[in-house]
Structure 1
Amino acid sequence: MGDRWRVGVDRSVCIGSAQCVHLAPDAFRLDSAMQSHPVEPETDANEKILEAAEGCPVEAVMISLLAGGEPVFPPEE
């Protein structure tokens, strides 16, 4: 992939299903409120992180390009 990403979790949407943690355990953690957060908000593009975002049942995981801010996931409609 080669790009750098900014990864975030919308905590107002996150339901703590932990799908992101199961799919990308090195990239996401649950906090004491059982909500997800990225381990590294700025990271190299990574297929596992994209799979985790796609696997979130409420689409709480957001990924954008670090340079320019264009959305990677969820895609613009």
Structure 2
Amino acid sequence: MAQERKLKITVDHDVCVGNAMCESFATHTFALNEERQSEAVNPQGDPLAQVLEAADNCPVSAITVEDAETGEKLFP
């Protein structure tokens, strides 16, 4: 069940090492691209708690999560 809040999820590709931890926590939100770096392919794909857990478990802190409508920073 996806969350109600619209999210803007950014992955810093200068930092991402492609270990796919985010995919294991939010399987419908993140996927690795051709360069084996994470992409937020469906920001509404998983519940907010899972998206935040995925961002929190990124070993290189490459993920930023914001409310797409208000700009409120949700993570970090």
- The TM-score with structure 2 as length reference comes to 0.84
Provide the rounded CA distance (Å) in 1 between the counterparts of 2:54 and 2:37: 14
Task: Report the CA distance between 1:6 and its aligned residue.
Answer: 0.7
What's the Cα RMSD here? 1.7
Task: Report the CA distance between 1:62 and its aligned residue.
Answer: 0.7
Which stretch of the first structure deviates more once superposed, 44-53 or 24-33?
44-53
**Structure 1: gaps of 5 or more residues:** none
Sequence identity, in percent? Answer: 36
**Structure 2: gaps of 5 or more residues:** none
Aligned residues: 73
Provide the rounded CA distance (Å) in 2 between the counterparts of 1:23 and 1:2: 18
Provide the rounded CA distance (Å) in 1 between the counterparts of 2:37 and 2:5: 27
Q: Report the secondary structure of 1:57's partner residue.
A: coil
Provide the rounded CA distance (Å) in 2 between the counterparts of 1:22 and 1:12: 21
Structure 1 or 2: more strand by fraction = 1
Report if the CA contact (8 A) 2:28-2:42 is conserved: no
Task: Report the CA distance between 1:3 and its aligned residue.
Answer: 2.4
Aligned residue for 1:5? 7
Determine whether 1:32 maps to 2:31: no
